[in-house]
A and B are shown apart, each in its own frame.
Chain A
Amino acid sequence: MAPAKRIVLAGNPNVGKSVVFHFLTRKYAEVSNYPGTTVEVSRGRWQCHEVADTPGVYGLNCANDEERLAREIIDKAEIIVNVVDATRLRRDLFLTLQLLDLGKPMLVVVNMMDEARRSGRVPDLARLEAELGVPVLPAAAVRGEGMSELARELARLCRNPPRRSGGASPGSPGRRQRANAISAAVTGLSDGNTELSAADRWLTRPVTGLMTAAAVLAAIWWVLGGLVAGKLVGFTEGIVMNRWVIPPLTRALNVLLPRGGLLAHVLAGELGVLTMALAYGLGLLLPLVFSFYLLLAVLEDSGYLPRLAVLLDNTFRPMGLNGKAVIPLILGFGCVTMAVISTRIMSSRRERIILAFLLGLAVPCSAQTGLIAMMLVPMGLGWLALYGGILLGIFLAAGVLLHRIMPGEPEGLFLELPRLRLPRPGNVLRKSWAKARAFVQDALPLFVLGAVLVSVLDYFHVLEQLEQVMAPITAGWLKLPPQVVCAFIMGIIRRDFGAAGLLALGLAGSQLFVALVTITLFVPCIATLLVLVKEHGAAIAAAVWLVSIITAVAVGGILAAIL
């Protein structure tokens, strides 16, 4: 058996590296249709070898974080698998030539051969192999085509890696011309135009593009607030949890535990673990989160998000951002924590901080959006529009302000647009499933922890004292019942948990509205806070946290006075 080797998958963004990684390691790495899906390195095992999936890069000499990260992993690897897009060889071969110059054993996987066949432009791979001097394999990774050949060739390469000598430095001139020449020779295509498809024209022109964006948004809210929150949750929470699961458990606990004791209160009390973790966490939030991720996955895989970036580029300019910012923002509606990590696709630290602030302040995550949709949609379109308008206003105001006070210059948009594709149901399901599972793993322990904390506080009457202390703010300023303190404490742990706390209070009308706006603007959850500290330092994280509290209370109070 060959000694263990370190294999790295490298290539341009959006060429299908993560699909190949999944084939080799059986580990799911997120696959989408926009440049920058992979921002961190995934590692797995293939046979006895270690395989690393790197963020897509266009070259090795350009100084941004992804390229530095990818370069680091590539330097440590012993074998390079360079994945290229059969329909984008002119672009991809630049990186291929850079990788070749590193002098490591390498093979080139020409992926998306199916799309090349469909467009009638199949590259001459024998010629390509002759030009590059390393094995070249055709593949259509999403269909599994060429994958067993890849495994065979890779095994051969691991057994006896050929000696290759290192060549020119990554910055050497003439590489672009050579990439162009090889591409022209292999594809017989040197100066083709790009025709904008009818769909692209529709999506990137202001009027039709905005109409589509509004329709997409409305559809998401309708599915989430009406269909899922109304029908599905009625079954999972109302029937499965509250009829079938929780009552027998509560009865059993009441038999086993002394009535009125701390343990009974923590487990089966009104704010206890059963209600919070089972009814809210699994019965209520899990269906909402899973459905939201399904919808989001369709958007991610279609290639729609980069079009939205083009459409909204000018809108983001007053906030010191460019259109690319729309990608982390939309992902933020799924999970703000993940979105803060995905702000790495922005090229400057300034933009990443502005975005992190906006995400922490004014973007509700999927679980929270689901709950809010569930409470707001029945109140009618007017309230829904007012809610959206207020959040948008605060979002814009905060962005403009941050742009004014932060030193530095904004970076302009320079974004490659991937092809529009029909999302593959398998990937949509697998991705949503992976994220929903992560939600259960990450959120459920926090729900249990939060339920224990709140129940203990309640049992020792600390909650009542807090309610009294905070009454000038809650009852006086926000005109809400003093018990909302509990929801806000829960909101510090997780935002959706806070919204669930509001649900338990049974508020209605303008009081409910004020409470919903306040809890949306309130602090980001603990997980987001930790990621903020990791990505931007404690000072920025603390600033986001404090500004969120102040904004939430100020806006809530003003609304309470007006409504």
Chain B
Amino acid sequence: MNLLAAAPGKRYVIVRIRDEAVRRQAECLGMGEGEDVYCVARQRNGPVILGRNGQMVAVGAETARKIQITLWRPPRG
């Protein structure tokens, strides 16, 4: 699924970012590929606000479509 389908309050893992500039910036911000983030808020057609440890990033609809996510699952054991 892409980020536009994220539900507020849920935790996701960022699988892939199909935009070079956004991927680099997201990595610097600590929200890059492989990281897990919370969907803090979402308007129907974007932007989506991602959060982690009090930090917030707003992602516009166009960019959100280029970000693949999957629901986060707690590690077993």
Contact = CB atoms under 8 A, between A and B. Distances in A.
A487 B2 CA distance: 55
A534 B56 CA distance: 35
A412 B54 contact: no
Interface in B19-50: 19, 21-22, 24-30, 32, 35-36, 38, 40-41, 43, 45-47, 49
Contacts of A410: 62
B39 to A, nearest CB: 10
A310 to B, nearest CB: 5
Nearest to A59: B28
Contact of A194 (B32, B38, B59): B38
B27 to A, nearest CB: 6
Contacts of B41: 196, 200-201, 204
A196 B46 CA distance: 16
A313 B56 contact: no
Given A201-B41, A323-B60, A194 B55 contact: yes
Interface residues of B, number: 37
Interface in A294-321: 306, 309-310, 313-314, 317
Contacts of B11: 193
B24 A61 contact: yes
A122 to B, nearest CB: 14
A309 B60 CA distance: 10
B27 A412 contact: no
A415 B49 CA distance: 9
A413 B60 contact: yes
A87 interface: yes
B15 interface: no
Contacts of B60: 313, 317, 322-323, 412-414
Contacts of B32: 176
A317 B47 CA distance: 12
A323 B47 contact: yes
Contact of A414 (B51, B52, B54, B59): B59
A187 B53 CA distance: 10
B29 A306 contact: no
Interface residues of A, number: 46
B21 A416 contact: no
A317 B21 CA distance: 19
Interface string A168-204: 0000000010011000000101011111100011001
B52 A194 contact: yes
A310 B47 contact: yes
Contacts of B27: 59, 94, 176
A167 to B, nearest CB: 18
B63 interface: yes
B7 interface: no
- Residue with the highest number of chain B CB atoms closer than 10 Å, among A62, A88, A191, A412: A412
A95 B28 contact: yes
Interface in A408-423: 410-417
Interface in A194-235: 194-196, 200-201, 204-206
Given A180-B30, A194-B38, A416-B29, A90 B58 contact: no
A87 B54 contact: yes
A337 B27 CA distance: 34
A254 interface: no
B30 A90 contact: yes
Contacts of A43: none
A142 B2 CA distance: 40
A415 B63 CA distance: 11
B69 interface: no
Interface string A61-91: 1111000000000000000000000011011
Contacts of A91: 28-30, 55
B63 A314 contact: no
B71 interface: no
A165 interface: no
A94 B57 contact: no
9 contacts: A59-B24, A88-B55, A194-B51, A196-B41, A314-B43, A317-B61, A412-B66, A416-B29, A417-B56
Given A194-B54, A196-B41, 4 more contacts: A62-B21, A196-B56, A313-B58, A410-B62
Interface of A: 58-59, 61-64, 87-88, 90-91, 94-95, 119, 176, 179-180, 187, 189, 191-196, 200-201, 204-206, 306, 309-310, 313-314, 317, 322-323, 347, 410-417
- Report, nearest first, the 7 A-B pairs whose CB atoms are least far apart: A194-B51, A413-B60, A412-B63, A412-B62, A58-B28, A59-B28, A412-B60
